[in-house]
A = this chain, B = another copy of it.
Amino acid sequence: MIESAAIIGLGLIGGSLARDLAAKGVRVFAGGRDEAAVRAAAEQGIARPLTWNEPVDVVVLAVPVVAARELLRELVGRMEGVRLITDVGSTKRSIVDAAEQMGIGDRFVGSHPLAGDHRSGWDASRTGLFEGARVYLSPTRSTEADALELARELWTMIGAVPEVMEAAEHDRRLAWASHLPQAASTALARALAEAGIARSDLGCGGRDVTRVAGSSPEMWADILADNADEVLPALDALELELRALRRAVASGDRDLLRQLLASGRNWHGEQP
């Protein structure tokens, strides 16, 4: 049972997690660089400032992927009584490896909740963010059953749906399912900026496609760099598909165009 949790980083994910855990009666302690957020969470009765003077069951590193590794290194000496150490990052190999190397692999489980949107920071955080959301759990080679159980409990408690996935498989899949769409959206945004087209010139469709281009550059630079070996083949595949479309447009071959568009629609799953 989780009675207390320390959440470091009160951004969209950490802040929302703090709100939901507090609402479930968990004693939440909050830390991180954003002192105003920590203060606001304290004033709203959501979390007390983290001092490490009280023991906690769970530590959640709710900071970008590179910062999470550094934080883990910084905190490893303070987390002796902690039963579960987890994170919320979009890549899993690097943090899982780091935990293993620091000798805390037995108590570490990487988490990646598929929740949130392009906004960031405490002001964007809210209750119910994880309701129905998938959360990938990536154990280390030495994660103990108790830690994995606590990780399941942590996320299930606030309505998320855990799915255990080995870190390498997670990073491969997410390169396609999340990192590639982000790259596509950013590339499109940059092309439109260059062409002098404003986002307000777009219809609903164009706005959908470019929405995540508004995501945090700091967070995404870390993710794309951290998962580079998996992201590169995905980028190459997208380029090939764009070229196939380009050839069909250039040739004026409507049948081929229809075929390419239809296969996209079939994948999407809303055939007529």
Binding site for B on A (CB under 8 A): 114-121, 134, 173, 176-178, 180-195, 197, 199, 201-206, 208-218, 220-222, 224-225, 228, 231-232, 234-246, 248-250, 252-255, 257-270, 272
Q: Known contacts A189-B268, A225-B252; is A182 also within 8 Å of B199 by CB?
A: no
A235 / chain B contacts, CB cutoff of 8 Å: 242, 245-246, 249
Q: Known contacts A180-B188, A204-B117, A264-B190; is A232 also within 8 Å of B214 by CB?
A: no
Pairwise interchain contact A184-B213, C-beta atoms closer than 8 A: no
Pairwise interchain contact B252-A228, C-beta atoms closer than 8 A: yes
Pairwise interchain contact A115-B184, C-beta atoms closer than 8 A: no
A176 / chain B contacts, CB cutoff of 8 Å: 191-192, 195, 197
Pairwise interchain contact A246-B217, C-beta atoms closer than 8 A: no
Most chain B Cβ neighbours within 10 Å, of A205, A220, A252: A205
Bound together, the chains give a CA A185 to CA B206 distance in angstroms of 9
- Report A115 CB to chain B, min CB distance, Å: 7
A264 / chain B contacts, CB cutoff of 8 Å: 185-187, 189-190, 193, 213-214, 217
Pairwise interchain contact A187-B238, C-beta atoms closer than 8 A: yes
